[in-house]
Structure 1
Amino acid sequence: MVIQADRRPPLDRFRCFETTDVDEARQIVGRHFCSHRLDRSSSLDRFDACQNRAPGFRTSLNYIRYGADVTIEPGELTKFYLIQVPIRGAAEIANGCRTVVSNPMTASILNPDRHTKMRWHAGCEQILLQIEQGFLQDVAEKMAGMPLGRVRFAVGLDTRKPESAAWIRRLLGLFGATEDGLAFRGVQDGRQRALEEALVASLLECQPNTVSALLERVETASAPAILKRALKLISERFLEDINLLDICAHARTTPRNLQILFKREFGTGPVHYLHDMRLAYARHLLLANGDNHSVADVAEASGHNHFGRFSVGYKQRFGESPRETQRARVFG
């Protein structure tokens, strides 16, 4: 999806600064994001920096340009995620061990706990969504229905993919609504919070991340009360040694009836659903904390009592062994 920019910069009436002074630009941008290095790659380029910004409840919308070819090195962002969508030009983005060439067809997502270094080429202009780390964590845990470790995203976001393109349109719609005075008005009401939660939730659904496997489970709104009770028990106690009879007792139904309901809704039985949740949680732990824990530790932490069966089941579910997931470091 190629994003076209109007002649007037986005959020033009929300101007923070416009300057030809590198130090001034670094100081003001640093106040809104974090301290960072900002260096010109060539003294021949015309440095013409500008930032427009509309703060919200736990996110902010931004437009930034520097005019010249610049190198930006904030290190670890620490407290926030930053989604950068070029509307003109290109940039090279390194976040952790992952590097992407970003342009109007490839946006970038900076994970807060990974070292970041960027080169914005002359003429690059980007719109940016800043999301507080704790807010995204809260939304992810609400969606997954359980406490989670750190959430990391794949750094490159392909705006040509249908689900990514839909999310970008949603983001651009918020920019338009903000310019029309309908969103990000400085009023911290329930509507603003709902807008931001929906935007973050749809990002978690469309962009690969360390909790993607946990978000694949879908419960229909019309699911019977019996099924909802069973799912509630599984989500709350899947790390414990529970079995089919425990689930049936909590759901107040028979094993046969519960098997029929699960098969109808999910195409699998309740015990398989339980095992799949444990495997999905193990994948989350390996992707989020795999460099700090052994595979055996992750197996135990995700409710698996038999290491061999865990490894076999994991490879059947995800097409790679737990050690391969651990070594890949897909998310930086």
Structure 2
Amino acid sequence: MAADHTHTRDLDEAIETVGQVYCQHQLQLHARARSIDTTLDISGSARQPVVRLRYGAPVIVDAGRFPDLFLIMRSTGGQGSVRQGRRKASWTPGGTVPVSPNVGTEFDFGADFSQTTVKPDKQKLEALCSRWIGHPLEETLRFELAPFSSALERTWSSTLALLEGGGSDALSAAAEASLEEFLLTVLLQQHPHNYSDELASPPTSLPPRLVRQAERYIQEHADQPLTVAEVARSLGVSIRALQAGFQACRNTTPMGFLRQVRTERVRQALLQADASTTVTELALRHGFFHLGRFSAHYKARFGESPMATLSRARKDSLAR
């Protein structure tokens, strides 16, 4: 991977640096452009980096067959477009378009176009899609080449903020696994692709005994980097069937049950806290990546904020 920050006015260096981050490609300046002024920054974690790129000149990028690479590209300024085969989509500032692999791909970026891009792992994304529908994919996953809906755009904006703040030391392994599965699930559930119809079809619900087995598995592994996909795999069922079983038997979701278990364990830890303990430390350790949502879940379950629990525990400790 390229350095965390690169700034160059050299065309060949820009091609080489961007190629290391994305893929080999051809870069051509528009006829009216005289020079390039490229800035590239990488933030987030090693598990899910976020790339910011601005060429500073109108360019055409021929990415060829775009091998095995998903790009979730959001415009942070200027105009741009992408063509894959006979399909074309355009960006306006604040809009996001997913670009799928193994199709002839050409980008046309204006001089002021800047982007913030996430590269979800193709193997993990397709494995999760397969786990959702309950069988191996028959063809490569391919998203519709179109901008996100306004609702998905709002979700994606907040997700990007979490990713960019998720440096290697910011999240525990459990929290990072939860965030990664959330990101991939949002893409699969909220943007059209070639498995969307199957994903939306009614699943066969699990019998109560398998729901109980799933609950035991969650309780036994809640302190680990556990995902819903892993729970479904342990039972040999699809995520859709697992979701339906929990809804029918428990009126919740597998993630809701996992969140409940982890919230209770955070409370137990808060009640035994010492002077150096923080709410943030415990929440991240137990797999929560969005601290605001964690606090809301905690207060809804226990009738007080996690900070109130911690303060009371410290007072009780001093009184003893």
TM-score w.r.t. structure 2 length? 0.60
Give the Å deviation of 1:93: 0.6
For the structure 1 residues 42 and 138, does the alpha-carbon distance in structure 2 shift closer, same or farther, using more than 3 Å as the test? same
For the structure 1 residues 86 and 226, does the alpha-carbon distance in structure 2 shift closer, same or farther, using more than 3 Å as the test? closer
Corresponding pairs, count: 221
| Structure 1 residue matching 2:181: 3-state secondary structure | helix
| Match of residue 123 from structure 1 | 112
Quote the sequence identity (%): 22
Give the Å deviation of 1:196: 1.6
| Match of residue 184 from structure 2 | 200
Residues 110-163 of structure 1, C-alpha deviation per residue, up to 9 Å, x if partnerless?
111111101110111100011222121111112222211211101112352x13
| Match of residue 291 from structure 2 | none
| Match of residue 158 from structure 2 | 169
| Structure 2 residue matching 1:51: 3-state secondary structure | strand
Residues 30-54 of structure 1, C-alpha deviation per residue, up to 9 Å, x if partnerless?
0111100011103545521011113
For the structure 1 residues 36 and 111, does the alpha-carbon distance in structure 2 shift closer, same or farther, using more than 3 Å as the test? same
| Match of residue 151 from structure 1 | 141
| Match of residue 17 from structure 1 | 6
C-alpha distance in structure 1 between counterparts of 2:198 and 2:11, whole Å: 44
For the structure 1 residues 45 and 103, does the alpha-carbon distance in structure 2 shift closer, same or farther, using more than 3 Å as the test? farther
Q: Name which of structure 1's ranges 125-134 and 193-202 shifts more when overlaid on structure 2.
A: 193-202
| Match of residue 89 from structure 2 | 100
Residues 176-203 of structure 1, C-alpha deviation per residue, up to 9 Å, x if partnerless?
x2379625xxx9x343233222201111
Letter of the 2:193 partner, please give it: N
Residues 96-118 of structure 1, C-alpha deviation per residue, up to 9 Å, x if partnerless?
32101111253221111111101
Checking the alignment, whether the CA contact within 8 Å between 1:57 and 1:193 is kept in structure 2 is no
| Structure 1 residue matching 2:120: 3-state secondary structure | strand
For the structure 1 residues 54 and 226, does the alpha-carbon distance in structure 2 shift closer, same or farther, using more than 3 Å as the test? closer
Letter of the 2:13 partner, please give it: E
Checking the alignment, whether the CA contact within 8 Å between 1:109 and 1:154 is kept in structure 2 is yes
Checking the alignment, whether the CA contact within 8 Å between 1:167 and 1:203 is kept in structure 2 is no
Q: 148, 155, 170: which one pairs with 1:182?
A: 170
Give the Å deviation of 1:212: 1.2
For the structure 1 residues 116 and 55, does the alpha-carbon distance in structure 2 shift closer, same or farther, using more than 3 Å as the test? farther
For the structure 1 residues 39 and 104, does the alpha-carbon distance in structure 2 shift closer, same or farther, using more than 3 Å as the test? same
| Match of residue 224 from structure 1 | 208
| Structure 2 residue matching 1:24: 3-state secondary structure | helix
Letter of the 2:61 partner, please give it: I
Checking the alignment, whether the CA contact within 8 Å between 2:9 and 2:37 is kept in structure 1 is yes
Residues 17-66 of structure 1, C-alpha deviation per residue, up to 9 Å, x if partnerless?
10011110100110111100011103545521011113745543100000
TM-score w.r.t. structure 1 length? 0.58
Q: 120, 123, 139: which one pairs with 2:128?
A: 139
Give the Å deviation of 1:234: 11
Structure 2 alignment gaps of length 5 or more: 214-231, 239-243, 249-320
